[in-house]
Chains A and B, each alone.
Chain A
Amino acid sequence: MPDFKNILWSALIAGTALGSLALAPAALAQSSAPVQPAPSTRPEGVEAELARGAYLATAADCVACHTMPGGKPFAGGLKIATPMGNVVSTNITPDPVHGIGSYTEAEFENAVRHGVRKDGAHLYPVMPYVSYAGMTDQDVKALYEWFMHSVKPVPQDTEKTRLAFPASMRSAMVAWNFMARKEQPETGDSSTYDTVRRGQYLANALGHCGTCHTPRNALMSEKHDQYLAGASLGSWYAPNITSSKTGGIGNWSGDDLVTYLRTGRIKSRAQAAGPMAEVVEHSTSHLTDADLHALATFIKQVAPIEDKLDHTPRDAVGKAADVPDIRTRGPQRIDDLTEMDGPRLYDANCAACHGQDGAGVQDHYVPSLFANSTVGAGRPDNLVMTILKGVDRTASGAHAFMPGFDGQSDVQRLSDTEIARLVNYVTATFGTGDHHVTPEQVNTLRKAAH
């Protein structure tokens, strides 16, 4: 479980959650199932409403948190580690005893949009009701109907969430809710919105992009004047995705964005890893073309905000290396595990696939390291995280995979010093320069990712 702790620490405090949780393949297969309309004898209108609810659940990525790896869909039980203890996601199948089968539509609405349980207790804001508050009445109803009629009831309890004081006081959430700014509910039929409005609805009420990509204020609420300007999740960094041509992604076309959200990658630009890979895998790769274009159109028109560190487009930096592999030593004894310097680490661990020139493989199954937003970023966090954790992303029929090099790797385990040297070599050779990453920084990210 790579990055729960920090992503969800901010989420816990700030009030939204990201659909970014690793799921077992079994659960993944099931997560896409709701998109398929269920065969039934119900009237056409009901059928359409259920299909709409299924699609909304995918766009809002409910399954990501409410399903354990290998567990039954929506039966909850996923432990989300926070510094205050584990938050355990609940069973939201329509089982009347263990799930939400006894919820009326109004009670469901109160939970989804306001964070209040049927029994009146306040939900922890790991549940992203601050975002879901923006959903239309019609969509909340469709979601409700779908959960009640299409999700299979699972009669099974989850562990109780037990947090340390003061977070154990659910009532404290009342005060936080007062401070936190919520989305205002949209009105009407969300499927008839014009492109920008539909995109905004998908981005904010459902997909909650800002949860990660918008920095937060001292009270850990999103800074709305810095909408999508980029923020650290403690481990991975959610970059500036405003329309700034230097600090954001203003140099991407709408089609680029659509390709990225559907497949998780754009050749010679960017690849989704970490939490974003999971968002693509579980949610955006399942959206319709029209919705992806709407989302892209909306993101493209978000006000540009310059970045503090990225002053050239992250994905337009660097060039192929041209260095002969001059060797000065013969084979060393098998027990010589001396830490190597950056160029040797790159040669021994990366060059086999990325090439000594960094160009990757021909069809970018292995991406190039120059013209690569992860390497060209002013912040090396995501490069460190990618080396530690690798990439594992299945979207649109393609499985992108790079092994991690952390302490669990079967391929190669690299020390903090080695990763720091490697990152500095890679950014100096293919990116914006040597970032002077220290082993301590790597260690911080390594620990944060556990």
Chain B
Amino acid sequence: MSSEQTLSADVVIVGSGVAGASIANELARAGISVIVLEAGPRVDRQHFVENFRTLENKPSYQGPFPSVPWAVHPPNQMTPNAYLHTTGPDAEAYQQVYLRMMGGTTWHWAGCAWRYLPSDFELKTRYGQGRDWALKYDDLEPFYYQAEVMMGVCGPDPAKEDLGSPRKQPYPMEALPISYAAQQFRKLIDEKTPWRVVHEPQARNTRPYDARPTCEGHNNCMPICPIGAMYNGSYSVYHAEAAGAKFIPNAVVYKIERDSANKRVTGVQYYDPDKQSHRVTGKYFVIAAHCIETAKLLLVSADEQSPEGVANSSGHVGRNMMDHTGVQVTFISGDKALWPGRGPLLTNVIDSFRDGDWRNERGAYLVHMVDDNQVDLATQLAISKGYVGRELEEQIRYLASHTVRLFSHNEALPDPENRLTLSKTQKDVLGIPHPEVYYKLPEYTVKSCDHTRSVFRELIGLMHGTDEQWTPGYFPQDHPSGSTIMGTDPKTSVVDGHCRTHDHENLFIASSSVFSTVGTGNITLTVAALALRVADTLKKELLHA
């Protein structure tokens, strides 16, 4: 392709993750021409499986995905890295990771597929905190279901276990049977506390679904499901391609062009890995490039027409950064052997702190008991303690069977001061500035985390736990959101209730970046539902134009 050639399509999408690919699939199936520009390369599963097995630091879930130089992603979670720079009082609590490649970050999510609660969309109205979304739960319900069918989500029967998000249809698949360890945890919570443990809804096959197999419990949802039993965005890429959508990998978009009135987007420009520039035009544009990269792209596109960046007349692009920054503790249970690590990673949740009147002063949260194989960590530890021979082996078995890990997703609030900007000093090999985020944990979240710690202490006591180890500070959950916030007022928000930018009538955003508040459930299902709603809007406008 020479740089003189101009590509064109009805809809041009930036980003091939779950948001971009599912929109592409919906549109292509409706006969609409689509071009998807993905900064990263095409990838495949077998190499990631091998990469994981050859990776020494197994808990590093970015480790099996060494990025390409032209589309760098953070190399490690929890580690200050040379790409996403964080500053501010809680900088280390905002070390988000994600993947820039075909299919996106769902290559290494754990499949947790929560719908938000109706109250999550009206936090301001109900509790006087944060903001309301510019849509209601009921607006999204049909698209939640569409997303669940697309991904293949298993979950509990609402008649037996109501997760608080009203459903018109049952889950596409029956709930995943939980592990022995999770059963014991659930029993304890049921018998000894006023709280409850529920089945986590998961985009994971409990029967053959969509030509992919039933989960066999390889315990490796993060970083890589070895058999495809869990949804990832690459399936939507494949389905969209089969329907005729055109995907261009290694296309790093760096510029969004507008018409002279600055009302309509006319095209985007991207670099290939050799820094040759290409232009793509279309009728509609969707930026679906992950919360961090989406805001970065809008800011990078600043020019004389829009000195603060595209879609940024409000000045809110890059602001209101949120996450589920939480708390993590590990301890040794004094009860029976649990042997975590049998089955999928995340299957059960305490959802008793997900909603309540107290949300007028502290954030809600979810608690996960992580069902993660502990053998490697137990081995490293036992060796470092000086054990050898038979004594080493009995230590490994004991630690691997008795370690319990809990972590929480705590609700953040949109604060304009928590802000993504472009690095003034750091640029990638294409000359595009790195992103930089200032982060101070909202007091609302701090209070929530304090509450979580007290609950964790109680749980440790109930399990006769010893040797508790708290992750220092706060624990990032890699659910960044808010950087192109949704609202009804163009002066204080970037997109409207349909994820259309207030400033540019043919520019949409499909990402967690539009979230007005972040709730407690993992963000992916809501991202997918919003994306499918964008696809629905585009279909209506293009097919009935």
In the complex they form, whether A and B have CB atoms below 8 Å apart is answered with yes
A contact set with B: CB distance below 8 Å: 325, 327, 329-337, 340, 344-345, 347-349, 352-353, 361, 366, 390, 392, 399, 401-404, 408-413
Contact of A347 among B45, B50, B239, B242 (CB under 8 A): B50
Contact across chains for A331 and B54 when beta carbons are under 8 A apart? yes
Contact across chains for A330 and B55 when beta carbons are under 8 A apart? yes
Known: A327-B54, A403-B227, A411-B227. A332 touches B47 (CB 8 A): yes
Contact across chains for B49 and A410 when beta carbons are under 8 A apart? no
Contact across chains for B208 and A401 when beta carbons are under 8 A apart? yes
Q: Which 4 A-B pairs have the closest CB atoms?
A: A411-B228, A335-B41, A401-B208, A348-B46
Contact across chains for B227 and A334 when beta carbons are under 8 A apart? no
- Interface membership of B196, Cβ < 8 A: no
| B50 vs chain A, min Cβ distance (A) | 5
- Interface membership of B129, Cβ < 8 A: no
Contact of A337 among B42, B210, B235, B239 (CB under 8 A): B42
| B396 vs chain A, min Cβ distance (A) | 19
CA A401 – CA B68 in complex, angstroms?
35
Contact of A333 among B50, B55, B68, B207 (CB under 8 A): B68
Residues of the A chain whose Cβ atoms lie less than 8 Å from the Cβ of B238 = 408, 410
Residues of the B chain whose Cβ atoms lie less than 8 Å from the Cβ of A353 = 213, 216, 227
29 A-B residue contacts at CB 8 Å?
A327-B53, A330-B56, A331-B66, A332-B51, A332-B66, A333-B67, A333-B68, A334-B43, A335-B40, A335-B68, A335-B250, A336-B47, A337-B44, A337-B47, A347-B53, A348-B46, A349-B46, A349-B49, A352-B226, A366-B216, A403-B212, A408-B211, A410-B210, A410-B211, A410-B228, A410-B234, A411-B227, A411-B228, A412-B45
Contact across chains for B63 and A331 when beta carbons are under 8 A apart? yes
Known: A335-B41, A335-B68. A345 touches B46 (CB 8 A): yes
Contact across chains for B46 and A335 when beta carbons are under 8 A apart? no
CA A114 – CA B542 in complex, angstroms?
55
CA A409 – CA B242 in complex, angstroms?
11
- Interface membership of B65, Cβ < 8 A: yes
| A369 vs chain B, min Cβ distance (A) | 16
* B contact patch SS: loop
CA A337 – CA B48 in complex, angstroms?
10
| B250 vs chain A, min Cβ distance (A) | 8
CA A403 – CA B214 in complex, angstroms?
10
Contact across chains for A411 and B212 when beta carbons are under 8 A apart? yes
- Interface membership of B163, Cβ < 8 A: no
Additional A-B contacts beyond A352-B218, A402-B213 (5; CB < 8 A): A325-B53, A329-B54, A337-B42, A340-B46, A399-B208
| A403 vs chain B, min Cβ distance (A) | 6
- Interface membership of B101, Cβ < 8 A: yes
Q: Which of B201-251 contact A (CB under 8 A)?
A: 207-208, 210-214, 216, 218, 226-228, 234-235, 238-239, 242, 250
| B186 vs chain A, min Cβ distance (A) | 25
Q: Which of B14-58 contact A (CB under 8 A)?
A: 40-56
- Interface membership of B487, Cβ < 8 A: no
Residues of the A chain whose Cβ atoms lie less than 8 Å from the Cβ of B101 = 334
- Interface membership of B64, Cβ < 8 A: yes
| A364 vs chain B, min Cβ distance (A) | 13
| B241 vs chain A, min Cβ distance (A) | 11
CA A302 – CA B213 in complex, angstroms?
38
Known: A337-B42, A352-B226. A331 touches B49 (CB 8 A): no
CA A409 – CA B212 in complex, angstroms?
9
Contact across chains for A334 and B50 when beta carbons are under 8 A apart? no
- Nearest A residue (CB) for B55: A331
| B387 vs chain A, min Cβ distance (A) | 24
Residues of the A chain whose Cβ atoms lie less than 8 Å from the Cβ of B45 = 348, 411-412
| Of A329, A330, A402, A410, most B-chain CB atoms within 10 Å | A410
Contact across chains for B66 and A410 when beta carbons are under 8 A apart? no
| Of B50, B228, B234, most A-chain CB atoms within 10 Å | B50
- Nearest B residue (CB) for A340: B46
CA A347 – CA B50 in complex, angstroms?
8
| A229 vs chain B, min Cβ distance (A) | 34
Contact across chains for B49 and A348 when beta carbons are under 8 A apart? yes
- Nearest A residue (CB) for B207: A399
* A contact patch SS: loop
Contact across chains for A401 and B213 when beta carbons are under 8 A apart? yes
| A146 vs chain B, min Cβ distance (A) | 33
Contact across chains for B208 and A348 when beta carbons are under 8 A apart? no
Residues of the B chain whose Cβ atoms lie less than 8 Å from the Cβ of A327 = 53-54
- Nearest A residue (CB) for B231: A410
Contact across chains for A335 and B43 when beta carbons are under 8 A apart? yes
Residues of the B chain whose Cβ atoms lie less than 8 Å from the Cβ of A335 = 40-43, 68, 250
- Nearest A residue (CB) for B60: A331
| A68 vs chain B, min Cβ distance (A) | 20
Residues of the B chain whose Cβ atoms lie less than 8 Å from the Cβ of A409 = 211
CA A60 – CA B218 in complex, angstroms?
42
- Nearest B residue (CB) for A328: B54
| B359 vs chain A, min Cβ distance (A) | 40
- Nearest B residue (CB) for A325: B53
Contact across chains for A331 and B226 when beta carbons are under 8 A apart? no
| Of B45, B46, B54, B64, most A-chain CB atoms within 10 Å | B46
| A399 vs chain B, min Cβ distance (A) | 6
- Nearest B residue (CB) for A410: B235
Residues of the A chain whose Cβ atoms lie less than 8 Å from the Cβ of B56 = 330
Residues of the B chain whose Cβ atoms lie less than 8 Å from the Cβ of A411 = 45, 211-213, 227-228
Residues of the A chain whose Cβ atoms lie less than 8 Å from the Cβ of B228 = 403, 410-412
CA A173 – CA B383 in complex, angstroms?
80
| Of B51, B63, B64, most A-chain CB atoms within 10 Å | B51
Residues of the A chain whose Cβ atoms lie less than 8 Å from the Cβ of B208 = 392, 399, 401
Contact across chains for B55 and A352 when beta carbons are under 8 A apart? no
Contact of A334 among B65, B218, B234 (CB under 8 A): B65
Residues of the B chain whose Cβ atoms lie less than 8 Å from the Cβ of A392 = 208
- Nearest A residue (CB) for B64: A331
- Nearest A residue (CB) for B249: A335
Residues of the A chain whose Cβ atoms lie less than 8 Å from the Cβ of B54 = 327, 329-331
CA A345 – CA B43 in complex, angstroms?
16
| Of A329, A345, A349, most B-chain CB atoms within 10 Å | A349
Residues of the B chain whose Cβ atoms lie less than 8 Å from the Cβ of A349 = 46, 49
- Nearest B residue (CB) for A399: B208
Q: B263-289, CB under 8 A of A: which get 1 and which 0?
A: 000000000000000000000000000
| A330 vs chain B, min Cβ distance (A) | 5
Residues of the A chain whose Cβ atoms lie less than 8 Å from the Cβ of B64 = 331
Known: A331-B55, A352-B49. A337 touches B43 (CB 8 A): yes
CA A345 – CA B101 in complex, angstroms?
22
- Nearest A residue (CB) for B107: A334
Residues of the B chain whose Cβ atoms lie less than 8 Å from the Cβ of A325 = 53
| A130 vs chain B, min Cβ distance (A) | 35
Residues of the B chain whose Cβ atoms lie less than 8 Å from the Cβ of A332 = 47, 50-51, 66
| B65 vs chain A, min Cβ distance (A) | 5
CA A332 – CA B234 in complex, angstroms?
20
| Of A333, A344, A409, A413, most B-chain CB atoms within 10 Å | A333
Contact across chains for B50 and A344 when beta carbons are under 8 A apart? yes
Residues of the A chain whose Cβ atoms lie less than 8 Å from the Cβ of B42 = 335, 337
Contact across chains for A352 and B227 when beta carbons are under 8 A apart? yes
Contact across chains for B50 and A348 when beta carbons are under 8 A apart? yes
| A289 vs chain B, min Cβ distance (A) | 28
CA A403 – CA B216 in complex, angstroms?
13
- Nearest B residue (CB) for A338: B47
Residues of the A chain whose Cβ atoms lie less than 8 Å from the Cβ of B44 = 337, 412-413
| B49 vs chain A, min Cβ distance (A) | 5
CA A366 – CA B49 in complex, angstroms?
19
CA A349 – CA B228 in complex, angstroms?
11
CA A266 – CA B63 in complex, angstroms?
41
Contact across chains for B211 and A403 when beta carbons are under 8 A apart? yes
Residues of the A chain whose Cβ atoms lie less than 8 Å from the Cβ of B65 = 334
Contact of A412 among B46, B218, B239 (CB under 8 A): B46
CA A401 – CA B66 in complex, angstroms?
32
| A388 vs chain B, min Cβ distance (A) | 13
| B112 vs chain A, min Cβ distance (A) | 20
Residues of the B chain whose Cβ atoms lie less than 8 Å from the Cβ of A337 = 42-44, 47
